[in-house]
Amino acid sequence: MLQVAYIRENKEDVIARLAKRNIDATKMINDAITFDEDRRTLQTKLDNIKSESNTLSKEIGNLFKSGEAQKANLLKEKTTQLKESIKDLEQELNAKANALDSLLYTIPNVPNTIVPAGNTDEDNEETYREGDIPKLFEGALPHWELAKKYDIIDFELGTKITGAGFPVYKGKGAKLQRALIAYFLDKNTAAGYTEVQVPHLVNEASGFGTGQLPDKEGQMYHVTEDNLYLIPTAEVPATNIFRDTLLNESDLPIGLTGYTPCFRREAGSYGAHVRGLNRLHQFDKVEILRVEHPDNSYKALDGMVEHVKDILKELKLPYRILRLCGGDLGFTSALTYDFEVFSTAQDRWLEISSVSNFETFQANRLKLRFKNKDGKNELCHTLNGSSLALPRVLAGILENYQTKDGIKVPEVLVPYTGFDIIS
């Protein structure tokens, strides 16, 4: 969440930049400043009364020692009144602080100055494109029909077992899926990311720490009896490794990667754009995340973008990169680049990765800090990206690599699959 001191010192700039998200944040920002002023006034009053009470307590002790019990008892009555005032002020202060925190949790991150204004994904800016779109033979199929033809993904069986959006991968489809996971992890660890295996359920504090709660509460599967949430991405448990952590500046940067299944309740609609692997409730993803010094985080973001580009070059998939506009930007992000692979059979772009810099937004929630060279505690910057989300990468491979004789396997994956064609 935003730091209230930052809001107070940059009020007009915060309101102007949040307007890129199509939000009139004037009232929220003014209320946050007012709550903070009230909180500080109450804190000052409380500190003064506590100081007075401590002074009187010492005086009472001295009076008893000198045998002036009557004077001491009179002062004790006053300290009793002060203690009641302290109790009332502490309750009022806690209520005001909770109100401030509740409000701050609802304010999204401030977009970076280079984020374009806009309302929808149509306003996103294309910043890069690479790869030739293959010319498929007449009668080429979309991936959901290829999956059925070669018996590698069974959507109906997944519906039978669980429901729509929970496919079953079979045979060479399952092995290709596993090959992609291993390949992504190997690429990430070779680039210096440390692999971690993390829980697939998180507690409420972890959801708040990375910003999924309260923003995306309705999109997460909730195990109500234990008050746990199935993870929407490995970002949540992996980033929460650093919750309530004070690092040394020499510890930075930190890079982690991990594979997890991801679970999302997001409502589906009907049509080809959500068929097959295009939108699922359970899917696999390999994630990368970084904890960075604030001075280096945007250089690190550029490095993450180049890393994902390198993976897509090796897979030989046509792709483009978009800089998200304010209206399409995630709640916690200051700047996001989306990667999209072109699906020739569907004649459309499919999002396969988002790489984002959250600046101090998550770190403030997480209380993730480092001790700088001056010995002062400073908030870290956090970043994360998909490297990569599997369903649409797999869809792109199935559709773009299809031939009349079967589906070729990208050359870089053959050592992982042990076969070079699905037929």
Q: Which domains does the chain have, with CATH numbers?
A: 4-104 (1.10.287.40), 121-422 (3.30.930.10)
What share of the chain has pLDDT > 90, as a percent? Answer: 87
CA gap 334, 114 in Å, rounded: 10
Confidence band of 80 (pLDDT split at 50, 70, 90): confident
CA gap 222, 211 in Å, rounded: 16
| Average pLDDT over every residue of 173-194 | 98
Q: What is the pLDDT of residues 100-134, one digit of tens each?
A: 999 999 999 999 999 999 999 899 999 999 999 99
Residue bearing the bigger pLDDT, 69 or 135: 135
Confidence band of 57 (pLDDT split at 50, 70, 90): confident
User: Is the pLDDT at 145 greater than 60, yes or no?
Assistant: yes
Minimum mean pLDDT among 68-72, 143-147, 267-271, 389-393: which range? Answer: 267-271
Beta-carbon count within 10 A of 374 CB: 7
Confidence band of 204 (pLDDT split at 50, 70, 90): very high
| Average pLDDT over every residue of 222-247 | 97
Percent helix, percent strand, percent coil in the chain, to nearest 5: 45, 20, 30
Cis preceding-peptide flag for 388 (omega within 30 of 0):
yes
Confidence band of 75 (pLDDT split at 50, 70, 90): confident
Record the tokens describing residue 302, joined without a space. Answer: 């550029």
| Average pLDDT over every residue of 57-78 | 83
Q: Which helix (H) or strand (E) holds 59?
A: helix 26-65
Task: Please calculate the CA angle 199-200-206 and round it to the nearest 5 degrees.
Answer: 75
Burial label, 362 (beta-carbon count in 10 A; 0-12, 13-18, 19+): buried
Beta-carbon count within 10 A of 325 CB: 23
Residue bearing the bigger pLDDT, 420 or 75: 420
- What distance, in Å, lies between the first and last C-alpha atoms of the chain? 51
**pTM score, two decimals?**
0.91
Nearest one of 41, 20, 32 to 109, comparing CA atoms: 20
Number of H helices, E strands in the chain: 13, 19
User: Is the pLDDT at 149 greater than 80, yes or no?
Assistant: yes
Cis preceding-peptide flag for 294 (omega within 30 of 0):
no
Minimum mean pLDDT among 179-188, 215-224, 291-300, 310-319: which range? Answer: 215-224
Beta strand 368-371 with 245-248 is: parallel
Record the tokens describing residue 406, joined without a space. Answer: 């079967």
CA gap 158, 274 in Å, rounded: 16
How confident is the model at residue 269, as a pLDDT?
Answer: 47
Q: What is the pLDDT of residues 394-403, one digit of tens each?
A: 999 999 999 9
Confidence band of 270 (pLDDT split at 50, 70, 90): very low
Minimum mean pLDDT among 11-15, 120-124, 244-248: which range? Answer: 120-124
How confident is the model at residue 77, as a pLDDT?
Answer: 84
At 419, give phi and psi (nearest 5°).
Answer: -145, 155
Residues 6+ apart with CB under 8 A from 246: 369, 370, 371, 377
Task: Please calculate the CA angle 251-255-258 and round it to the nearest 5 degrees.
Answer: 140
The DSSP code for 219 is: G
Dihedral, CA atoms, 420, 404, 280, 286, nearest 10 degrees? Answer: 20
CA gap 340, 308 in Å, rounded: 11
| Average pLDDT over every residue of 149-173 | 97
Residue bearing the bigger pLDDT, 358 or 68: 358
Q: What is the mean pLDDT of the chain?
A: 94
How confident is the model at residue 267, as a pLDDT?
Answer: 54
| Average pLDDT over every residue of 145-173 | 97
| Average pLDDT over every residue of 223-241 | 97
Record the tokens describing residue 221, joined without a space. Answer: 């599967």
- The 3-state DSSP class for residue 210 equals helix
Amino acid in position 305: V
Residues 6+ apart with CB under 8 A from 105: 1, 208, 214
